[in-house]
Amino acid sequence: MLSTCFGSACKKKKNATTGLKTKICGMELASPIGLAAGFDKNADVFNATLSLGFGFVEVGTITPNPQTGNPKPRLFRLPDEEALINKMGFNNKGMLYVSKNARKPKLGIVGVNIGANAKSINKVLDYTSVFECLAHLFDYVTINVSSPNTKNLRDLQKPELLEKILKNVKSINVSLKSPVPIFIKIAPDLYKNNIIEILNVCEENGVSGLIATNTTISSKTLKKPTSFEGGLSGKPLFKPSNNILRLLAKKKNASTALIGVGGIFSATDIYEKIKMGASAVQIYTSFVYNGPRHVKKMEVELKKLLLNDGYSTIDSAVGALLR
């Protein structure tokens, strides 16, 4: 399914032209750098963000019914930590609103991140509803069972519940004229055996890949550990998310794609996740701190890193640290 999984290094001459085009789950990306869900809550500005240089963008998280999310204030900067704390709670205008926006022509690859309503009686079925409504309008779907800001949502990472969600959406996906790649976004606050269980369920149910990771509820990696409510993103998440990514890369099947997220502030950070096994990456916090020029700056630097190591493509660098 993928051209960006563990192949031979195939290093090229130092003077070879290095490009950032890559392919993941059949999707042609101009760049491996994507915008994570959380910025474009309602699919209002996906073409505007694509024009900044992102290789792909992910909108959402989208729930069946509109909801206001958690009470404000709910987004906080930690400048000294180069981090954010958010406790948004899936604030969005609902799947019907997004379905209208999603019909607009797209300038590139756009995925949708789906979730469950906070007050839903049956959260498993919420994913079925949103998938059925939106999947055919996007290039891929991410199932978000790892946000810490909806009560009990992370319980859906348990194998028996996750399998129910996947079986439901899979039955819809195979009936589509063009089935879409399905990703699962997991939490960084998991034990090794939990991660392997999730990976096994995903692969047994034909999931295209995993996104590692969502925000953390741990303060251990903060320079000044402090208690907080919500999810922590940014620099403190880099190492924890890499630990999850590394484990997944070692244990996964060759056809399972990985997208690395968490703490990326530079091309060096991106390159580390790629060499660790990620076929693509997503950013959010560094985009908030560094602004719209940040993406293209990192792309120029990433090309140099690849060229210095003799790689002419992203594909040939994926998983280099594990070979």
Outline where DSSP puts E strands in 46-91: 56-62, 75-78, 83-86
Q: Kindly state the DSSP code that residue 216 receives in the 8-state scheme.
A: B
Burial of 119 (0-12, 13-18, 19+ CB in 10 A): exposed
Which two tokens mark 229?
A: 């409510």
d(CA 239, CA 51): 30
Residue among 282, 279, 303 nearest 23 (CA): 279
User: What Å distances lie between residue 223 and 59, 62, 263, CA to CA?
Assistant: 31, 33, 14
Q: Which of 300, 279, 288, 294 is nearest to 76 (CA)?
A: 288
Catalytic entry in 129, 146, 147, 241:
147
Bond into 61 cis (ω within 30)? yes
Alpha carbons 69 and 92: distance in angstroms, whole number: 8
- What one-letter code names the amino acid at 45? V
For the question of residue 178 being annotated catalytic, the response is: no
Known catalytic residues are: 147
